[in-house]
Amino acid sequence: MAFFWTVAALVVALAVVWRLLGAYMVSVYEGRCGWLGFLERPIYRLMGVNAETEQTWQRYGVSLTAFSGVVLLIGYGLLRLQGSLPLDPQHLGAVGPAVSFNTIVSFVTNTNWQAYSGETTMSYLSQMGTLALQNFLSAAVGMAVAVALIRGFSRKGSKTIGNFWVDLVRGTLYILAPIAVVAAVVFIAQGAVQTLAGPVTVSDAINRVTQVIPRGPVASQEAIKQLGTNGGGFFNANGADPFENPTGLTNFLSILLILSIPVALTYTFGKMVGSVRQGVAVLAAMTIIFGAWLAIATVAEHQPNPAVAAAGLTAQPAGNMEGKEVRFGDTTSALYGVASTQTSTGSADSAYDSYTPMGGFAMLSGMMLGEVSPGGVGSGLYTILLFAIVTVFIGGLMIGRTPEYLGKKIQAREVKLASLGVLVMPLSVLVLAGIAVAVPAGRAGPLNAGPHGFTEILYAFTSAANNNGSAFGGIAANTRFYEITTAVAMLLGRFGVIIPVLALAGSLAVKEYVAESVGTFRTDKAIFVGLLLGVVFIVGALTFFPAVSLGPIVEQLSHGKFF
């Protein structure tokens, strides 16, 4: 019952966020909102950006790539030099080269795959100056790309798709920063840690133990980690750590923050293309997937643990509580997990490795569908729009017209770019997982043997290539092999999609509108939502069915047998 009210409260809260934040983002990206102009203008002056000039998709793409490249290099340098820089009260020293590379790639790509343990690796400067900063910037980049694509649809006969620097600054300044500040205050009020005073040493005289308890600027990072669908926790235990996620309220707020921007962007999209119904259609498809996967995960996790039962222990809780916080319970943990895996966030308040096979499958397959339900900030929207283009292409043909979407003809170039954008992720996952199971360094990674071990490998690359960053656990992520290969997956999954999306935006923006008639394929109707879901499922199923059947499906069909 508590779970039902949690979901109901979440739906109501998201409905409000969808409408208000969605409309607010329209005004931000259309440049009609200027209450932080006193901060915005100096930033442009500092960067030497003329906010009035617009960019072609090529310029936009070059700016974006150059920016990401530069912050990646700076971030790498800061991590490597950590020991010589201030704010390192634990004297953690420099971060190793491979893990630095993996980590900075991970944060720049909005993945937040963590091949390290935060409290024992990162200084406060690295946590705040490098990682938390990237949480803002990578989220703003994702939103900028989504907005550029929306402009592709909403403009006609235009060579330009906006200005990357302006979109980046405005997204950070007007959307991410204010919400993160407010959320951080709530986290602090609820008991999340926020200090630069370093760890405390606690001595227990009775038991004669002395314990060092790590602390740090946690709450501030926590807010943006969820809001920007980044997911990289301050502590290794992520959302299961009471310093990060102290109460049921913060747990709920985490889920809400995770879903806010991806959900609200559908309103922004609809409004900017001139029909909110178009945004509702996309949101409906997202919601159906989310709802279905939530059902799978909660039902699976609400079963008694079959392995525990097989061991003859009759008195076990109603749900599978292995690897879960008792503060949150089985179903709410599953809700958090689904929200996190389907938004490319990857934060966690429970251990997926300990989920039932179907629960784990729900986490894994949610990502395999391409992170579109509702997906990461920006990336969720632009990815589902790629699927929508493939959908209207096939659906449009079936009604006897050459396909069009939102008044734009979908032709060879659009199909090429959309196919590329859709297929980069599954290709990266399959090829890298194929390499991992074939080479000794890869085979050494998983903790378990057999299908569960295979799932651990598959999960790692699915998480990385989807820029999710959630960890299934059980895999030795901090080995050279996985540090390099997952970084490759993250880069491909990010820029391999962003570049085609920007090219698509450019190609759409120049096109003229095609008038709508009763003969037009309506993309704001239930049948479109159904077809879009069909395409998302079929592409996901066709590419991953063989792999999944060797992992979670075999496990599930083994009924509690350990691997």
Minimum CB distance to another protein, residue 368 (Å) = 12
Q: Of the candidates 71, 237, 257, 410, which one interacts with another protein according to CB under 8 A?
A: 410
Q: Of the candidates 191, 317, 530, 560, which one interacts with another protein according to CB under 8 A?
A: 530
Q: Of the candidates 546, 552, 560, 562, which one interacts with another protein according to CB under 8 A?
A: 546
Measured distance CA(148)–CA(161) in Å, rounded: 5
Q: Of the candidates 60, 116, 393, 459, which one interacts with another protein according to CB under 8 A?
A: 393
Q: Of the candidates 132, 137, 256, 430, which one interacts with another protein according to CB under 8 A?
A: 430
**Residues in 489-528 that interact with another protein by CB under 8 A:** 512-515, 517-522, 525, 527
**Residue count (the chain):** 563
The answer to whether 216 touches 166, Cβ cutoff 8 Å, is no
Q: Of the two residues 188 and 431, which places its CB atom closer to another protein in the complex?
A: 431
Residue 154 contacts by C-beta under 8 Å, 6 or more apart in sequence? 272, 273, 274, 406
Minimum CB distance to another protein, residue 516 (Å) = 8
Minimum CB distance to another protein, residue 229 (Å) = 26
Does 547 bind another protein (CB under 8 A)? Our answer is: yes
Q: Of the candidates 38, 315, 438, 440, which one interacts with another protein according to CB under 8 A?
A: 438
DSSP 509-535: HHSPP----TTS--TTSHHHHHHHHHH
Q: Of the two residues 50 and 402, which places its CB atom closer to another protein in the complex?
A: 402
Measured distance CA(103)–CA(72) in Å, rounded: 10
Does 396 bind another protein (CB under 8 A)? Our answer is: yes
> What phi and psi, each to the nearest 5 degrees, are found at residue 311?
-80, 0
Does 33 bind another protein (CB under 8 A)? Our answer is: no
Q: Which stretch binds another protein (CB under 8 A): 21-29, 269-277, 343-351, 450-458?
A: 450-458
Does 558 bind another protein (CB under 8 A)? Our answer is: yes
323: left (phi over 0), alpha (psi -120 to 50) or beta: left
The answer to whether 457 touches 442, Cβ cutoff 8 Å, is yes
Measured distance CA(522)–CA(9) in Å, rounded: 32
* CA neighbor of 489 nearest in space, from 536, 416, 563, 431: 431
Q: Of the two residues 216 and 446, which places its CB atom closer to another protein in the complex?
A: 446
Q: Of the two residues 450 and 473, which places its CB atom closer to another protein in the complex?
A: 450
Does 401 bind another protein (CB under 8 A)? Our answer is: yes
For residue 542, the tally of other CB atoms under 10 A from its CB is 10
Measured distance CA(337)–CA(245) in Å, rounded: 14
For 170-233, the three-class secondary structure string (H helix, E strand, C coil) is HHHHHHHHHHHHHHHHHHHHHCCCECCCCCEEEEECCCCEEEEECCCEHHHHHHHHHHCCCCCC
Q: Which two tokens stand for residue 339?
A: 């929200």
Element (H, E) at 22: helix 2-29
Does 531 bind another protein (CB under 8 A)? Our answer is: yes
- Return the SS3 of 324: strand
Minimum CB distance to another protein, residue 177 (Å) = 39
Measured distance CA(277)–CA(523) in Å, rounded: 9
Q: Which stretch binds another protein (CB under 8 A): 213-221, 249-257, 279-287, 417-425?
A: 417-425
Minimum CB distance to another protein, residue 507 (Å) = 12
Q: Of the candidates 450, 476, 478, 510, which one interacts with another protein according to CB under 8 A?
A: 450
Q: Of the candidates 419, 448, 478, 479, which one interacts with another protein according to CB under 8 A?
A: 419
Q: Of the candidates 7, 23, 33, 427, which one interacts with another protein according to CB under 8 A?
A: 427
Q: Of the two residues 279 and 407, which places its CB atom closer to another protein in the complex?
A: 407
Q: Of the two residues 374 and 446, which places its CB atom closer to another protein in the complex?
A: 446
Site string for another protein, 451-490 (x = CB under 8 A): x--x------------------------------------
Measured distance CA(348)–CA(337) in Å, rounded: 6
Q: Of the candidates 65, 411, 448, 478, which one interacts with another protein according to CB under 8 A?
A: 411
Does 390 bind another protein (CB under 8 A)? Our answer is: yes
Q: Of the two residues 74 and 431, which places its CB atom closer to another protein in the complex?
A: 431
Query: How many residues contact another protein, by CB under 8 A?
Result: 64
Minimum CB distance to another protein, residue 431 (Å) = 5
For residue 201, the cross-strand partners are 212
For residue 213, the cross-strand partners are 200
Element (H, E) at 301: helix 276-301
* CA neighbor of 196 nearest in space, from 180, 210, 215: 215
Rg (CA), the chain: 23
Residue ranges in contact with another protein by CB under 8 A: 390, 393-403, 407, 410-412, 414-416, 419-420, 422-423, 426-427, 430-431, 433-435, 437-438, 443, 450-451, 454, 512-515, 517-522, 525, 527, 530-531, 534, 538, 541-543, 545-547, 549-550, 553-554, 557-558
